[in-house]
């Protein structure tokens, strides 16, 4: 039952990213809802779910983005891997740790894309750097709005899972 709820959230994140993200435009910046979903799965769910959803999200993003194939999958798996290392080290994700993890993950995601687009267009303007910085800030801000909701949902799933055993 819990995996079905995660799949529904996964599909909803892609749907909102593709359709409603244009309406979530904050001063020209659009939050990356799929990245926020992967970050929340990484922080709050089991290891097998983390890698499954990270790989699936990256693969779907690669297919629909039109960019270099495999880059989204690689970035999502890297984020899942690093987050899982912190969880294995028993790092308690306080507000500071979560902020650092989310901000650094968004920085890696948008830096790789900015580098790719800069190389592809032969344009490394400062304006693009400001744009990606804004994207990072909006994604981090929305992540902190959505994380409490998602953490309660995942806690409910864990409770339901344990009760079912």
Residue carrying structure tokens 């996964």: 10
Q: Which two tokens stand for residue 155?
A: 């806690």
With a CB cutoff of 8 Å and minimum separation 6, the contacts of 127 are none
Residue 26: phi and psi, rounded to 5, are: -105, 95
Task: Give the pLDDT of residue 55.
Answer: 92
Give the separation between CA 144 and CA 160, rounded to whole angstroms.
25
Please state the domain extents for the chain: 2-17+32-164
Low-confidence ranges of the chain (pLDDT < 70): 1-2, 20-27, 90-95, 156-165
Distance CA 130, CA 143 (A): 20
Cα-atom radius of gyration of the chain, to the nearest Å? Answer: 16
Cα 7 vs. chain centroid, distance in angstroms? Answer: 15
The rounded distance, in Å, linking the Cα atoms of 40 and 34 is 10
Name the CATH architecture for the domain at 2-17+32-164: Orthogonal Bundle (1.10)
Cβ-contact 135, 29 below 8 angstroms = yes
Q: Which two tokens stand for residue 133?
A: 């910085």
């Amino acid at each position: 039952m819990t995996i079905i709820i995660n799949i529904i959230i996964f599909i909803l994140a892609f749907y909102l990213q593709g359709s409603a993200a244009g309406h979530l435009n904050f001063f020209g910046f659009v939050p990356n809802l799929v990245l926020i979903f992967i970050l929340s799965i990484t922080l709050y769910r089991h290891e097998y779910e983390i890698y499954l959803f990270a790989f699936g999200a990256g693969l779907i993003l690669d297919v629909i983005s039109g960019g270099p194939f495999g880059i989204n999958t690689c970035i999502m798996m890297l984020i899942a891997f690093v987050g899982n290392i912190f969880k294995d080290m028993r790092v308690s994700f306080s507000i500071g740790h979560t902020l650092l993890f989310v901000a650094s993950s968004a920085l890696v995601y948008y830096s790789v894309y900015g580098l790719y687009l800069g190389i592809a267009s032969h344009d490394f303007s400062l304006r693009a750097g400001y744009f990606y910085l804004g994207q990072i800030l909006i994604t981090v801000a929305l992540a902190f709005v959505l994380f409490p909701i998602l953490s309660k949902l995942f806690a409910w799933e864990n409770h339901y899972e344990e009760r079912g055993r």
